[in-house]
Chains A and B, each alone.
Chain A
Amino acid sequence: MSIARLHRYRPTVRRSIRRGVMDPARLFAAHVAMGFRRWSTYRLAMVAGAFTNTVFGLIKAYITVGAIGAAGGTVAGYDAATGATYAWLAQALIGPVAVFGWRELALRIRTGDIAVDLARPVDPQLAFLAADIGRAAYTFIPRGFPPLLVGALVTGLALPTTPLPYVLGLVSAMLAVVLSFAGWWLLNLAAFWLLDLRGATTLYLVASNVLSGMIVPVHWFPGWLWTVASWTPFPSLIQTPIDVVMGHATGTEALGLIGTQAAWLAGLLIAGRLVFRAGARRLVVQGG
């Protein structure tokens, strides 16, 4: 009897929730699911990506271990085990964080397909962001785990034994995903003003790959380069999540790093909104 009544009441409750809070959440969730499904159609590309990341992981891990050995056992706090772990984790983050970026929005701007996005009752940045989170969710395991698995077998991984670094690491990695999106979103928007993005893309790729700690840890940089990096959002993409998950930064230091990520994220997302609005206005007023 009571169960029957419960069932009878549920639709009303759900409908009232849906009308209020659920609508934007449903919109967001639908785009996340859409991004997830879109990427899940490219299984072969996923396998190829995981394979490439793993092979390069091997090379990087051995170079790192060799460099640390040549320097006398430790470099800026990394010994052979932690140095190799760093290399493997960086390789595992390439896919989810989309280190090499995406150009879909720039393409849509150039072809004029952006008109379709503008003629929709949804905020384009929100829609693209949600779809990118779906993409990251799909790539997380198939692109993230193979390098780590091979790393564990070949060099071993020096990872913490307590759960907290993993929880914080996951938060940090998710922030890195969205931060990477926010950066590429801005870069893609340049297509409103530039005919060709190849120059800007190359510059961005070089800067982000080096300064994020993708190639070597930011801690290894000479002083001046470290200063440059710390004034950019790039270390928040790779260095920060790895520092947090490896337990290099713990407690308030870890929270501080995550706070820095969040601050960059907020700034870049807002900048992305403003620039998109300016670009869309240019398109709408001048007629592309």
Chain B
Amino acid sequence: MTTAVPAINRAAGAGRRTREILEGRPLDGPIIDMRDLRRDFTVRSPARRLRRSKRTVHAVDGLTFAMPTGSAIGYIGANGAGKSTTIKMITGILVPSSGAVRTCGLDPIHHRRQLARRIGVVFGQRTQLWWDLPLRESFRTLAAIHRLPEATWLKRRDELVDRLDLGTFVDTPVRQLSLGQRIRGEIAAALLHSPPLLILDEPTIGLDVLSKERLRLFLTEQRDLHGTSLLLTTHDMDDVQRLTERVIVVDHGRMVYDGDLPGLVGRVGAQRMMVLDLVEPSAPLSDVPDAELVGVEAEGLRQRLSFSPEQTTAAAVLAAVGERTEVRDLSIEEPDIEDVVRRLYLSTTPPRDAGT
């Protein structure tokens, strides 16, 4: 497997290819190409008085995949699965321990600055805006940073302001913006230079339903208009469903699934949870058809039913419950990423067989 590593770096004509890319020729190969990528961290923890124990953590442990230009990938995994580490290596701000990655046809470490003009990144918890300036000023500075001609970037800015609905707060200092407004500003900042590759690290975290929806519509539209490739890490299964056609699940730095969402759902079963708050304590609802009772709390005041949307509907389950007792309130929970990953492990089929 390691023999494949130098192959992409030292392939015949790689130097010429790099030169062509740097001169701005369009890319025909995959926009991200990763071969057996690994990254280890040494974690030191004070064990006893003078001795320190060293431990090696494999944050990314042999990832191989190619992302075709123009595609959209949902890159999902629990906290600490290695998502952010992967993004750092893709963008050239972290050196792989071994293996290789090429982004937009370039070696990210050696061509970090050239690469920065071809990708737009939104790091989940970080900001690329200037805290004390309004978005309008941030855009102006970013346009200069990316050396965009006046005519091009003003048009692009107006488009982004219009499509992301930034008009009402484009002159407000960033520190006064709400989270949803700021995230929209971040995405506009990442897209100002019209990069062919957009990398979003948890873009919808903390957003309300309406803001999430607006953002998804915008991203879909941008991809239709400009053919932007999208790599998205998220905890939100809806993001994955709406924005991407391919899902890669990582756990402890290893790929545990690479395929489409229906395939993933088929593998783990898309169980939904109906949480019922009842008017009065009731007997366990263990006899509802096509639903499984998974929890009874507060002496039967709150009960949890798990069901599969492929077998039944929420309405049918609710109707069956209604025959048995009176419901005060209910909520339906989507399976979260942690749950999906856990189920992936529990599923008996060995990982990595469901190719694209």
Given A112-B126, A115-B123, A284 contacting B94 (CB threshold 8 A): yes
| Residue pair A27, B91 in contact (C-beta under 8 Å) | no
Q: A30-B145, A38-B132 are in contact. List 16 more A-B contacts (CB 8 A).
A: A23-B147, A27-B144, A29-B144, A30-B141, A31-B141, A33-B141, A111-B126, A115-B88, A118-B112, A120-B113, A120-B128, A121-B116, A121-B145, A121-B147, A284-B93, A287-B88
Against B, the Cβ 8 Å flags (1 = close, 0 = not) of A22-43 are: 0100110111011001100110
Nearest-Cβ distance from residue A27 to partner chain B, whole angstroms = 5
Residue of A nearest to B193 (CB): A121
A residues less than 8 Å from B213 (CB atoms): none
Lowest 6 A-B CB distances belong to which pairs? Answer: A30-B144, A121-B116, A121-B113, A34-B141, A122-B145, A116-B128
B293 within 8 A of A: no
Expressed in whole angstroms, the minimum distance between the Cβ of A176 and any Cβ of chain B is 25
- A71 near B: Cβ within 8 Å? no
Interface contact B137-A119, CB-CB below 8 Å:
no
Known: A113-B126, A115-B123, A118-B112. A37 touches B147 (CB 8 A): no
Q: Is B41 interfacial (CB-CB < 8 Å)?
A: yes
A285 at the interface (CB under 8 A from B): yes
Binary A-proximity of B88-114 (CB < 8 A = 1, otherwise 0): 100111110000000000000100111
Tell me the bound Cα distance from A116 to B122 in angstroms.
9
Asked if A34 contacts B112 (CB within 8 A), the reply is no
In the complex, A31 Cα to B256 Cα: how many Å?
A: 45
Contact B137 A37 (CB under 8 A): yes
Contacts of A285 in B (CB 8 A): 95
Q: In the complex, which residues of chain B have a beta carbon less than 8 angstroms from the beta carbon of A116?
A: 123, 126-128
CA distance A111 to B114 in the complex (A): 25
Can you name 13 A-B pairs with beta carbons within 8 Å?
A29-B144, A34-B140, A113-B127, A119-B112, A119-B116, A120-B128, A121-B145, A121-B147, A122-B145, A283-B93, A287-B39, A287-B88, A287-B94
- Most central of B88, B112, B144 by chain A CB within 10 Å: B144
B132 x A42 contact (CB < 8 A): yes
Q: Which residues of B (117-131) have their CB < 8 Å from a CB of A?
A: 117, 121, 123, 126-128, 130
Pick from B95, B117, B141, B147 the residue with the most CB of A within 10 Å. Answer: B141
How many residues does chain A have at the interface if contact means C-beta atoms less than 8 Å apart?
A: 28
In the complex, what distance in Å separates the CA atom of A41 from the CA atom of B176?
A: 13
The closest CB in chain A to the CB of B121 belongs to A119
How far is B126's CA from A30's CA once the two chains are assembled, in angstroms? Answer: 22
A27-B145, A30-B140 known; A119+B91 contact, CB < 8 A: yes
Instruction: Encode A88-132 as 1/0 by CB contact (under 8 A) with B.
Output: 000000000000000000000001110110111110000100000
Q: State whether A284 touches B95 (Cβ < 8 A).
A: yes
CA gap between A119 and B109 in the complex, in Å: 11
Contacts of B145 in A (CB 8 A): 27, 30, 120-122, 127
For B141, give the chain A residue with the smallest CB separation: A34
What are the residues of chain A within 8 A of B173 when measuring CB–CB? 41
CB closest residue in chain B, given A284: B95
Q: Does B261 contact A (CB under 8 A)?
A: no
Shortest CB distance A192–B (Å): 14
Q: Would you give the shortest CB distance from A173 to chain B, in whole angstroms?
A: 25
